[in-house]
Structure 1
Amino acid sequence: MLRVLVVDDQDLFRGGFSMILNAQPDLTVVGEASDGAEAVRVALEVRPDVVLMDVRMPNVDGVEATAQICRHTTAKVLVLTMFDLDEYVYDALRAGASGFLLKDIRRDELVNAVRVVAAGESLLAPTVTRRLIADLVQRGQPVPRLTAKLAHLTDRELATLRLVAQGLSNAEIATELTVSEHTVKTHVSNLLTKLDLRDRVQAVVFAYESGLVIAGA
């Protein structure tokens, strides 16, 4: 049973999401919160597998709450937003979120998203991926301490990381490297462990900040 914490300052959204998730046989809402501070407190108490996190909230916003929850728990955070170009989304992804959802998402998409993120995958729309990469590129030179970590990866893991950073799925990477999809999953799992990363979103950030992948190259 996957345990979910729903965070939103609007009762209608919070209640609606909880109702949809609780109707699933493998999902249960173990808590709700109306702002970031409450979200962190409840997350530390109930230890959810997944947190649906609104970003625009009074007091402590979703970005800071995401950073604290990712720092102190193993929960996966899915950011909730009204707009796919919300600047807060990028900050939340850098804080450790595993992806984002628009608030007008369909029921089946919401349920699937929770399951996907709980399984260790990430959810990023192409518009967000492009904006996130553009933001990383503007930072300039690679971070030396991150570049040094690349030495821990095998050639296959480096190749896999490059393709992950380009937004390819496991199936597409398998075709590109002429290996099985299971082998790709193993490479992704190994590189995340070696680099101490939570998921593919952080892997994309790492690939650009370490200089492994250069935009336009």
Structure 2
Amino acid sequence: MQRKIRVGVVDDHPLYRDGVVFAVESENDMEVVAQGESANDAYQIALDKSPDVLLLDMNMPGGGINAVAKIALKCPSTRTLMLTVVDGEDEVRSVLRKGARGYLLKGTSSYELANAVRIVSRGQSYVSPSFAAQLIMSRGAEDSDTKEASGMFPELSEREERILLLIHRGLSNRLIGDELGLTEKTVKGYVTTIMEKLHVRNRVEAAMMAAERTSGRKQ
């Protein structure tokens, strides 16, 4: 008899968590081995139960992203799958970089949930088709913007220019760090240098200068 996929479910809303547990338990090839409601619970479940897949809420106490990063580092055999209401592109990219194997919205069907759990349990990644298309289109637009703006800021290094473009897009230092694989402190240092080189007083003025130069190039 084939071994069932062992699943953990962590969400701080009991009613919703019960629904997810019911959906998972309804599948013949899956079983729920543990439940929790916080990032600490998620990490402890990964340590104690070693589920094949751990379903996590993004906004649970302690932070879903923090739980994902810790589990990916300490319990790599447990694959994390985010199930959340957060649908921002930056959040999706950030949590996938931290080690999550999949990302689903809480409005997903039980069929898609079960399919995602199976895919992630095999070591593959799963992102809802609508998310995948959105991320690909966004990445293409970012690459295009980077190429068009290249060389328009001769006073900046290539890395500084990339950070300036992300500031222009409205990203915080933390999200810029996630995008480029840098610490928030390192990004803050780059931002200070960028403002000094551009002779602007704050990141808003830096973003405005970036908008002016890029729009002038496109005309």
TM-score range, shorter chain: 0.5 to 0.7
Q: Does 1:127 align with 2:130?
A: no
Paired residues for 1:1-217 under 5 Å: 1-58=4-61, 60-73=62-75, 74-85=77-88, 87-124=90-127, 125=131, 126-131=133-138
**What letter is aligned with 1:70?**
A
Instruction: Give 1:90 shift.
Output: 2.5
Q: Quickly say closer, same or farther: Cα 1:129–1:61, change in 2 above 3 A.
A: farther
Instruction: Give 1:131 shift.
Output: 4.9
Aligned residues: 142
**What letter is aligned with 1:127?**
Q
Identity of paired residues, percent? 35
CA RMSD in angstroms, aligned pairs only: 2.7
Distance 2:42 2:33 in 1: 12
Q: Quickly say closer, same or farther: Cα 1:133–1:63, change in 2 above 3 A.
A: farther
Which of the pair has the greater relative contact order for Cα pairs under 8 Å at 6+ separation?
1
Distance 2:13 2:74 in 1: 26
Instruction: Give 1:130 shift.
Output: 4.7
Contact 1:90–1:132 (8 Å) recurs in 2:
no
Distance 2:50 2:93 in 1: 25
Distance 1:67 1:39 in 2: 11
Gapped regions of structure 1 (runs ≥ 5): 142-204, 210-217
**What letter is aligned with 1:63?**
I
Structure 2 SS opposite 1:68: helix
**What letter is aligned with 1:72?**
K
Gapped regions of structure 2 (runs ≥ 5): 147-157, 160-177, 182-219
Structure 2 SS opposite 1:9: coil
Contact 1:84–1:128 (8 Å) recurs in 2:
no
Instruction: Give 1:129 shift.
Output: 4.5
Distance 1:15 1:85 in 2: 26
Distance 1:68 1:119 in 2: 21
Instruction: Give 1:135 shift.
Output: 7.9
Q: Quickly say closer, same or farther: Cα 1:84–1:69, change in 2 above 3 A.
A: same
TM-score (norm 1): 0.58
Instruction: Give 1:87 shift.
Output: 4.1
Moved over 3 A (4+): 128-138
The structure whose Rg is larger is 2
